[in-house]
Amino acid sequence: MGKATKYISKVPNDNGVIDWTDEENTIWHELITRQLDCIKGKACDEYWLGLDKLDLPRDRVPQLDEVSAVLTKETGWQCYPVPALIGFEEFFRLLSERKFPVATFIRSREEFDYLQEPDIFHEIFGHCPLLTNKSFADFTQAYGQMGLNASKEQRVFLARLYWFTVEFGLLKTDQGYKIYGGGILSSPAETEYAINGIEAQRDAFDMLTVLRTPYRIDIMQPVYYCLSELTDLDKMREYSVEDVMDFIKQAQTMGLLEAKFQQKAS
């Protein structure tokens, strides 16, 4: 959102099907095979349940209608094809309508291990399994509604709530730390680091602290915020828009916490 990209999303054909090349299907196969192995014992139970429901193909890129059919049945969500990058206004609007934006391109082999913009593997494998879970699905819609009611300045703070939950959230369970954030679940390096990295800081989730925490998209996260269980998202969803905006105003007044990383050179 808001920056250039070399990727171009694919457009469905007259039958509503996206034509993926053999190489793109091979990349999907290699990505999902590798990541399924990486997240064993690390992803939360709700993710595995959703992944089982989606029954994603291993040998080809899934069609969005295949995924949407399951999501609609489970929680009323659907996948919505978008360009590689979209603006915040459209992003929030789609979420508020229970439409999950999916950029219909897959990373090149040159960026197999990491790319900054979210591709179809990140969106489908990382996020869609948990969109079968009511708590996660309802929170994601509520987040979209929050964003629609926020000013440009408030959205900068609100972005951190999404980052430290939907993208990089952890659960602290009786079985240890478990991942629910799609940014972690779709990255082999971040999966290992978030759970086992000795330098990673894992703190209890606190709304005001989260809103004040700086982050960078191109490094391993120095800090992760942990919920006790996924249903904790229900409590955040139940905040009124006024409650959330009050948290944001407090965060704006208090200012950001000291960054736990070096600032990126401009």
Indicate whether 73 pLDDT > 50: yes
Residue 89 marked in a binding site: no
Task: Walk me through the domains of the chain, giving residue ranges and CATH numbers.
Answer: 22-254 (1.10.800.10)
Q: Is 29 annotated as a binding residue?
A: no
Which ranges of the chain would DSSP assign to H, the alpha helix?
Answer: 22-38, 45-54, 64-75, 88-96, 120-121, 134-148, 152-162, 182-185, 188-196, 207-211, 232-237, 241-254
| Interacting residues of 12 by C-beta distance below 8 A, sequence separation 6+ | 18, 81, 104
Q: How many CB atoms lie within 10 A of CB 67?
A: 25
The candidate with the shortest Cα–Cα distance to 163, out of 216, 118, 115, is 216
- Residue 266: what pLDDT? 52
Kindly list the catalytic residues: 122, 127, 167, 186
CB 100 within 8 A of CB 68: no
The pLDDT score that the predictor gives to residue 1 is 44
- Axis crossing angle, helix 241-254 with helix 152-162, rounded to the nearest 10: 100
Can you give the pTM of this predicted structure? 0.94
Sign for the CA dihedral angle at 264, 246, 171, 46 comes to negative
Which residue from 175, 165, 174, 184 is spatially nearest to 227, judged by alpha carbons?
A: 165
What pLDDT score was predicted for residue 17? 93
167 belongs to an annotated ligand binding site: yes
Average pLDDT of the chain is 94
pLDDT at 18: 96
Q: What gap in Å lies between CA 58 and CA 188, rounded to an integer?
A: 17
Owner of token pair 């990058």: 85
